[in-house]
Amino acid sequence: MVRVQVEDINDNAPVFVGLPYYAAVQVEAEPGSPIFRVTAVDRDKGINGEVSYYLKDDHGHFEIDRLTGGLRLKKSFESDLSNQEYQMVVYTKDGGYPPLSSTLEFPITVVNKAMPVFDKSFYAVPVNEDVAVHTPILGINATSPEGQNIIYTIVEGDPSLQFDIGFDTGVIRVINSLDYEIAPSFRLTVRATDYLTGARAEVDVDVTVNDVNDNPPVFEKTSYKAVLSETAMIGTPALQVVATDKDSEKNNIVRYQIFYPTDAYNSTDHFHIDSSSGLILTARMLDHELVQRYDFIVRATDNGFPPLSSEVSVTVVVNDMNDNPPVFNQLLYE
C-alpha cells in the first residue's frame, strides 16, 4: 500500500461573505462603540486559511479588530455632523506565503437620532421593459424616531420622469413607458423626510430594466439586387443581405432563409443562403436561355420568444454569355 499525502498550498485568496455591506453610526456614539463586522473566509487549511483585517484609511474615526473584523469607533464625531458618509476600504489577507488578499469598499453613514431610518441599506428591483404604465414595482419604508411623519420623494436618477413615488406610501410606480434599448437601468435616490422636524435621509434604489423581444430585425436595404453571369459556378456568391436587431444579445441573433419564391422557377433550388451570415450563393448552374431573372424573398428571424421577423425582396439577374453556337433549322438543304 502506498499512502500519498497532499500538502496544501496557498492558492485561495480570502473572500468576503454576506455582501453587500452597509453600516450606520449615531453621531452621539462614544469611542469604542461597535459599528459593524466584516467577515471573510479562506478555503485553504491551517495558517494559509487564517485571515486578518485592515483599514486602508480610518478617516480619523474608525478602527478594526484584525482578528474578528469588528469595526468600532475610535474618535467621537463633531456634534453638528449629520448625514455624513464615509467610504470605508477594508482589506483582508491570509497567513500564507506569499499572502493573498482581497479588498472591499462599503459606506458608513453618520446619522442623528432624529433622522428617518430605512428598513434596508439599499433597494433593487428588476422590471420588464413592457411593464404597464402605473404598475407598482417596489415599496420603500422608513421610520422616524419622532413618529410616522415621513414623506417620500425621488430626488435624483430620473431625468425623464419614468417613475413616481407615493409621497405618503413610499410605493414606486412606472409612469412612463420603459425602453431597455434607451435606458437599461436606473439608480434612483429616494429621500425620506420627517415633515415635523425636517430631518431627512436618503437611500439608493437600483431599477434594472429587463429586455423583451420588442424589436424585429431590420434589413439595411429595402430591396437587394445582384447580377450574375450564366457561367457562374455552383457556390458563387451572389450577394449578402444584412439585418440587425436592436434588442439585447439574448434576443438579437438573426437567422436567414429563402422562402416562397414569386417566380415560376424554384429559387430555393437555385440559390442557397447561409442562415447566419445572410450570404446568398448559387446552388445550381444558371442558364440565361431558361431563366433571365429570379425574384424571391428572404426572411430574417430573431431568436426571441416569441420570435419576430422581417422580409426583403431579392432579385438576381442572369447575364447572357455567348455559350450557344448557331444551329441550322434543318440538317440538309437542297
Mean pLDDT for the chain overall = 88
Question: Cβ contacts of residue 325 below 8 Å, gap of 6+?
Answer: none
pLDDT at 238: 93
109 — pLDDT class (breaks 50, 70, 90): confident
pTM value surpassing 0.75: no
d(CA 165, CA 152): 7
Looking at the domain 15-111, which fold is it? Immunoglobulin-like (2.60.40)
* CB contact at 8 A, 42 and 53: no
- Which amino acid does the sequence have at 216? P
Per-residue model confidence as pLDDT tens digits over 179-230: 998 999 999 999 999 887 778 888 999 999 998 888 899 999 999 999 999 8
Cell numbers that stand for 61 in this block: 474615526
pLDDT higher than 90, residue 8: no
266 — pLDDT class (breaks 50, 70, 90): low
pLDDT higher than 80, residue 260: no
Q: Which of 289, 291, 288, 308 is nearest to 299 (CA)?
A: 308
Per-residue model confidence as pLDDT tens digits over 116-161: 888 888 899 999 999 999 999 999 999 887 667 899 999 999 999 9
Phi and psi (nearest 5°) for 160? -95, 10
Per-residue model confidence as pLDDT tens digits over 87-103: 999 999 999 889 999 99
pLDDT at 304: 87
pLDDT higher than 90, residue 320: no
Question: Cβ contacts of residue 85 below 8 Å, gap of 6+?
Answer: 107, 108, 109, 110
pLDDT at 157: 94
pLDDT higher than 80, residue 334: no
pLDDT at 159: 93
Q: Which of 157, 132, 276 is nearest to 212 (CA)?
A: 132
- Portions of the chain given CATH number 2.60.40.60: 15-111, 117-210, 218-319
pLDDT higher than 90, residue 72: yes
Q: Give the HSE-up count for residue 141: Cα atoms under 13 Å, Cβ half-sphere.
A: 3
| pLDDT average, residue stretch 299-326 | 86
Q: What percent of the chain has pLDDT over 70?
A: 93
The second-level CATH assignment, the architecture, of 117-210 is: Sandwich (2.60)
Looking at the domain 218-319, which fold is it? Immunoglobulin-like (2.60.40)
